[in-house]
Amino acid sequence: MKKLLTPLAFAMALGAASAAQALEGDAKAGQQAAAVCTSCHQPDGGGMNIAGGQSWPRLAGLDADYLYKQLRDIKAGSRQSPVMMPFVSMLNEQQMRDVAVYYSQLPATAGKGGEQASAEDLAHGEKLATVGDWERYIVPCQSCHGPANLGVGGQFPALAGQHAGYIADQLRAWKNGTRDNDPLHLMLAIAERMDEKDIRAVSQWLSRQPAK
């Protein structure tokens, strides 16, 4: 228990520290720069979720520092995203800040599950998100992502109301090691213990939760 809680406490401190530092940017300029983003993330920042297909995340209402970090990581290559790279490469440093601030100020939209989920699956997903499965060393999502999984600062994004397909894709990416730009590799430690049933269940449940 001690080995688990220590990095989690440190990670929460990272989130609290980033929350205290507001990213500086121009939302109006960000709206103009975000024109390259709308084809996938939609004019309202709500993203898209195609059942059984691709999923583009909701950006609206997410923390500006988190969005900015992801843009920087993708541009630097520390987060692999072949789809995003051409678009992010078009943005300079200030534009990335502006875009992040712009999306953070948009009203959060509802997430989409994309597929049917049984009551049993949703109950399992709720348990993983709010209580965890300590017998398998799976920490509850809200221990880092905050009460109601609405996010904590620039390190831990809101999961509630995010599209199920996107959440599931990212959990698989952390599990197989194709994404690793999180603090202390906490997501790898959790995702590698999750099976496909866990991933689908928690993704479906989180997508159905209020985004704000």
Burial class (CB in 10 A: 0-12, 13-18, 19+), 53: exposed
User: Do the annotations mark residue 145 as ligand-binding?
Assistant: yes
Residue 106 has which token pair? 């948009």
Task: List, in sequence order, every residue forming a beta bridge with 49; answer none if it has no partner.
Answer: 55
Burial class (CB in 10 A: 0-12, 13-18, 19+), 77: exposed
Which SS3 state, helix, strand or coil, does residue 172 take?
helix
Strands 48-49 and 55-56: antiparallel
User: Do the annotations mark residue 41 as ligand-binding?
Assistant: yes
Q: How many CA atoms lie within 13 A of 196 on its CB side?
A: 0
User: Do the annotations mark residue 187 as ligand-binding?
Assistant: yes
**How far is 74 from 81, CA to CA, in rounded Å?**
6
User: Do the annotations mark residue 12 as ligand-binding?
Assistant: no
User: Do the annotations mark residue 84 as ligand-binding?
Assistant: yes
**How far is 36 from 41, CA to CA, in rounded Å?**
9
User: Do the annotations mark residue 144 as ligand-binding?
Assistant: yes
DSSP per-residue string spanning 75-101? HHTSS--TTTHHHHTT--HHHHHHHHH
Binding site residues for heme c, as ranges? 37, 40-41, 84, 141, 144-145, 187
Binding site residues, as ranges? 37, 40-41, 84, 141, 144-145, 187
